[in-house]
Structure 1
């Protein structure tokens, strides 16, 4: 990956929503930042049509952290 990207690019990371996935995204984003390459991560949160009463706490927290102003 590092040999294929340059400063004019953005890398969008899509990892599993697990501890391992988050650690991998953090590691890769640090490597990219050192080279001045922009990176972002896919948003996580509530699925369309999902009922709040069935959402786990971690998913709800991620949804709140990724909220946008309307």
Structure 2
């Protein structure tokens, strides 16, 4: 996500990363709604 953020800096696009509960490489279709909601609510920007 850092690399993508760096590429998009000239375009004034906000890039965030999911903070909690989602292991790297996990398919989002297998994540329950509560975990996904909490992860998006606590995401971090660069």
**TM-score, scaled relative to structure 1:** 0.35
Higher helix fraction (1 or 2): 2
Q: Indicate the structure (1 or 2) with the bigger Cα radius of gyration.
A: 1
**TM-score, scaled relative to structure 2:** 0.49
Which one has more relative contact order, counting CA pairs under 8 Å at least 6 apart? 2
